[in-house]
Structure formats: C-alpha cells, structure tokens
Amino acid sequence: MSAAEALRVQPGPSLRGVVTPPGDKSISHRAILLAALAQGTSRVENLLVAGVTRPMLNALTALGVPWRLHETTLTVESPGPQGWRAPRAPLHCGHSATTMRLLAGALAAAGVPAVLDGSPGLRRRPMRRVTEPLRAMGVPIIDTDGHAPLTLAARPSGQPLRGGTFRLAVASAQVKSALLLAGLAAATPVTVHEPGPSRDHTERLLQGLGLRLAFPAAHTVTLHPPQGPLPPLRLRLPGDISAAAFVLVAALITPGSQVVIEGVGLNPTRTGLLDALQRMAADLTVEPQGEAYGEPYGRITARYSPQLHGTTIRGDLVVRMIDEFPILAVAAAYAQGPTTVREAAELRHKESDRITALAAGLRALGVPVEEHPDGFTILGRAGVAGGRAHAHGDHRLAMALTVAGLAAHGPVEVLGAGMFRESYPGFVADLQRLGARVAWRPGEGAA
C-alpha cells in the first residue's frame, strides 16, 4: 500500500446502525498457535483475517502444519509440536511483536530451530525481555543486541525445559504468554509474576483446553505442564474491543449518533477504554451476553455525548487500554477541559512512537497537544479544525485520525490511511454503512 494512500473525511452526518467488529486480534494470534500446538483438528470461527494475522498463518505453513481458511473460519489439522518441521527460511513476523514473542514461546515448546524476523519497525521493538527468561528455561535462543532477528537452535528430542518462577520487570501479556507456551514442554511448573495487570487471554484459553493453572497471588500465574497432548480447539472468537473502540468514539463525538456494537469481547483486562470514557461522561450501555472459553462478550450501545469532559489516566488503567490511546485522544479533543495520560511510556515502543506520532497527527488537525516523556495532555474544548495528517505507518493512528474528522469543523485528509487493513479490514466500509462521508482520494484505496 502507498504511504500517500489517503482517506478524505467530510464531517456532518450522524451515525446510525449496528456493527459486528472483526474477531479479537490478541485471541486470534493465540488461537492459531494453540491450534498448531494441539493434536488433531481444531476449528476457530470469527478469526481476524488481516495483515497482522497473516504472518502467524504463514508460519504454520512454514512449520509444516496443515490449515485452511474459509472466510473467517480456520481449520488446523496438526500432528502436535512433535510433528513440526524446521522452516527453510526465516519466519517473517511483519509488524507484529505479538507474533514474534508468542512464536518464540511456541517454538521453544516444540524444540524446533528457526529464525524470527520482521519489519524495520519490529526490529526496533525490545526482545531481550522475552529471550532472557526463555534462556533461563533452557531454550537455546539468542537475540540481536536485544532486538530481532531471534535465532532458536534445536532442542534435543525428549529433553524438557526447566520450570521455575520468573519475575517480569514490565507487565507484558506477550512475554507472559511466551513463557506459558514454552512451559507446555517444561518438566516442572512455570510461575510468572508481573508488577501489574496484563491481558489474560492465554490463561483463559489454556484453562478452556483443560490445563491446570493456579493464581497464587496478584498478577501471578502458575502453569502445571500437561501430561499429554493438548486437545483441539472448538472456539468462536468474540469481536475485538480495540477495533470496536473506533466506532464507539465515532458515535460519541458525532451529533445525533447512536451505534450498537454486537458480539464484542468484554474481558476486564481489555475494557479500560470503557472505564475511561465513562469517567468522561460518555453515554454508553454495556450488556453482557455470555462467555466462550472463559472470554466474556456482549453488546455495547454508544450515543452522541456532548457532555464529555476531560480526565486523568495513569496506573493500572494504562495497561488495560494500552492499544486504545489514539482513539481516547480523539474523544479528549472533543471534551471540555484537559485530559492527561501519564505512566504510559510503553506507547513509545508500539508500531510507531505512538506518543510523538499521535501528537503530530492531532496538531496537524488543529488540536492542542502537550507531549510528555510518558504520555500527553489534550487540552480539549476546541474540537478538531480539519486539515491533513499522516498515519506514520500505524494502523491505530490511521483509524483514530479518520474518526477525528467525523465531527471536525472542516474536511480531514489522512495520509497512509490504508494501514487500517492491518487490524480492521472492514473499517471504512463499516463507517460508510453507518452513514459517514468517508472516501478514498480518487484513484486510491480499491485494494
């Protein structure tokens, strides 16, 4: 896709209708890998089929694990990790740190040699936080000056990994998940302690497969290694709350709007944005509807909220909405009074330096932003003037800037907007179906 690929947003119409968001990105990654680690035929419905999940599916092909995809239903026929083969070329993880870190853990469990690499942006992401504890478990893995590429050597057949207790310096669901996946091949239990909360999709899926997990203290999980092969998955994924967030905020800021989000995941480790928006007096109704493999899901209704006001976000709430700050900033631009985010320095290590890129994008649209080393302040009151901004190769920033234009004082053009296909391929079509005046610049965006 072209870096100049641009969306034009004309403000005005209210948004009305129902949206079913794509399958949860985080659970999609984990479900693909667990289906490959299981023995037998797994079926995963409502999988996210997008740029960000393609590298994981491609990795299965390279590892010799048969799979097929019909629309958003994935079928994996796996021999189990003992049947994986060494890939002939490096496994390319695209832009996804989740893919790289979780694959490292799964490959460690399988004992298969491989090289993990990715885009220039992914090569900048820190990887020593996962390679060091894996080495302590006996995994023959090395990084490249703390970054990708990662190289795993073969582990002798039948030689288990070491269990133990691992204390993470930074709360990270990706690192925790890598250690738990490696722990499937450990001789003794693996305990992971984090300094704060992180999303728990891996734990819920493992429990749903019948594995024995314990939670002996806050932010601590212990996995007891299975005595036999993992059973196949039979799972329908909930919709992605991080994708739904863009449509929710679009309704909150656009006069006359009311939008219903169906079948969306309501895992409490992921709903920090809902808490933040409710602090800001957003008109939201959340209706739980059930669970799948321990993952709660339900319906959310969002209505235009002219009474939005600023708030302060820090501490545990940061972790529970770490992917939603670009769209929170858009809500803050339309709120009365300042909104301040602190203790969020991890945003500087996302697909872009998300703090600097977000501040630059909003300033280009006339929003006053103060940048901090660990966050930012949106001054609010003024809304969005209009103008042209760049997504800087970040799918979430591309969508946030697009939403910002829906209630702006003038038209908005988002350069590099096609990045949204990485995580929400139907984003533009969903906005158009709700009534938004969003269109590609002539000659662009048909892919």
- Judged on CB neighbours under 10 Å (0-12, 13-18, 19+), 20 is middle
Let me know: does 354 contact 124? Beta carbons within 8 Å.
no
Q: Is residue 248 located within the same domain as residue 203?
A: no
Q: Is residue 210 located within the same domain as residue 181?
A: yes
Q: At which of 169, 202, 236 does a domain end?
A: 236
Active site residues: 323
Question: Average pLDDT for residues 328-342, to the nearest whole number?
Answer: 97
Identify the pLDDT of residue 351. Answer: 63
Q: Is the peptide bond before 149 cis (omega within 30 degrees of 0)?
A: yes
pTM > 0.85: yes or no? yes
Q: Is residue 406 located within the same domain as residue 330?
A: yes
Domain extent, residue 409, equals 6-23+238-440
Q: Is residue 172 located within the same domain as residue 295?
A: no
Let me know: does 165 contact 193? Beta carbons within 8 Å.
yes
**Mean pLDDT for the chain?**
95
pLDDT in tens, 206-259: 999 999 999 999 999 999 999 999 999 999 999 999 999 999 999 999 999 999
Q: Is residue 18 located within the same domain as residue 31?
A: no
Tell me the percentage of the chain whose pLDDT exceeds 70. 97
Q: Is residue 360 located within the same domain as residue 400?
A: yes
pLDDT in tens, 276-307: 999 999 999 999 999 999 999 999 999 999 99
Let me know: does 110 contact 140? Beta carbons within 8 Å.
no
How far apart CA 404 and CA 333 sit, in angstroms, is: 8
Q: Is residue 51 located within the same domain as residue 153?
A: yes
pLDDT in tens, 88-132: 999 999 989 999 999 999 999 999 999 999 999 899 999 999 999
33 within a domain of the structure (yes/no):
yes
Q: Is residue 177 located within the same domain as residue 251?
A: no
Let me know: does 99 contact 55? Beta carbons within 8 Å.
yes
How far apart CA 386 and CA 148 sit, in angstroms, is: 39
* pLDDT-derived band at 428, boundaries 50, 70, 90: very high
Both tokens assigned to 276: 């933040």
Q: Is residue 295 located within the same domain as residue 363?
A: yes
445 within a domain of the structure (yes/no):
no
Give the closest residue to 177 by CA, choosing from 198, 157, 156: 198
Count of domains for the chain: 2
The pLDDT of residue 355 is above 60: yes
* pLDDT-derived band at 1, boundaries 50, 70, 90: very low
Question: Average pLDDT for residues 40-69, to the nearest whole number?
Answer: 97
